[in-house]
Homo-oligomer: A and B are copies of this chain.
Amino acid sequence: MSIWALEGIGEIVAGDDLGAIIAGVGSSLADGDVLAVTSKIVSKAENRFVVAADREQAITEQTVRLVAQRGTTRIVENHLGIVSAAAGIDASNTPDGTILLLPLDPDASAAAIRAALLERLGVTVGVIITDTLGRAWREGQTDAAIGSSGVRVLDDLRGTTDANGVPLAVTAPAVGDEIAAAADLVKGKASGNPVAVIRGLSHLLDDTAPGARSLVREPEKDMFRLGTDEAYRQGFAAGSASND
């Protein structure tokens, strides 16, 4: 498996045709590659800019559930089902006085990029839209898949067996998140390379695979909702109740 950053993607501005821009620097792409695209440039192309002064209100508007709060930091579930700090709203690498919301529908954004690459370059690839997420219980952040098209994000091994014939009962690697994490190692946060190519995972390509929304755990299966009501009472009074 090899991973490299796609060079030559300049600054993205609102209205840019991201699929065309990636295709323009994508002559090295081949069938079976997976592209990991930083959500920030998708948001920029889709004009998801908001005035920075409205940040707290924007977080509230993006929030469907407050998960935890300490001081001014709110960990919330947003409309995409993603749990993250500040609803994934991004203030780095944005023009002065602006912040960025996440793409409205990252699975659709991924599908559009994938279609553009097929049309312009004739290559069938998988596309993953990535965002940087903190984690419960662990320091630091890792990139994860918030959108995808044409690639399995959950490699469900339930029903298969290990080398000794024992069923792999609960094993379902979140390969979409693992691809996003791997791509972050070459994209970097400060280097300004928003797209990485992963070659060697063509066995994960699947036209009918569900999008990355399927990586969001359904509430009834979520074991980490204890305390939600308390968190809500303690922290969310300042927000808008109309979002819940």
Interface residues of A (CB under 8 A from B): 1-4, 67-70, 73, 75, 77, 83, 85, 91-96, 132, 135-144, 154-155, 157, 160-164, 166, 168-175, 177-179, 181-182, 184-186, 189-190, 192, 200-201, 214-217, 222-224, 226-228, 230-231
Contacts and interface: CB of A to CB of B under 8 A. Distances in A.
B186 A173 contact: no
Counting chain B CB atoms within 10 Å of each CB, which of A68, A73, A174 scores highest? A174
Contact of A217 (B91, B139, B174, B189): B139
Contact of A177 (B142, B173, B224, B227): B142
A140 B172 contact: yes
Contacts of A77: 137
Given A178-B184, A181-B142, A185-B178, A217 B172 contact: no
Given A2-B2, A224-B224, A178 B143 contact: yes
Contacts of A168: 92, 189-190
B171 A200 contact: no
B226 A92 contact: no
A1 B185 contact: yes
Contacts of A214: 139
B1 A177 contact: no
Counting chain B CB atoms within 10 Å of each CB, which of A77, A91, A171 scores highest? A171
A69 B224 CA distance: 9
A173 B142 contact: yes
A167 to B, nearest CB: 8
A135 B85 CA distance: 16
B137 A224 contact: yes
Nearest to A200: B186
Contacts of A94: 164
Contact of A1 (B2, B172, B175): B2
Counting chain B CB atoms within 10 Å of each CB, which of A3, A93, A140, A223 scores highest? A140
B166 A93 contact: yes
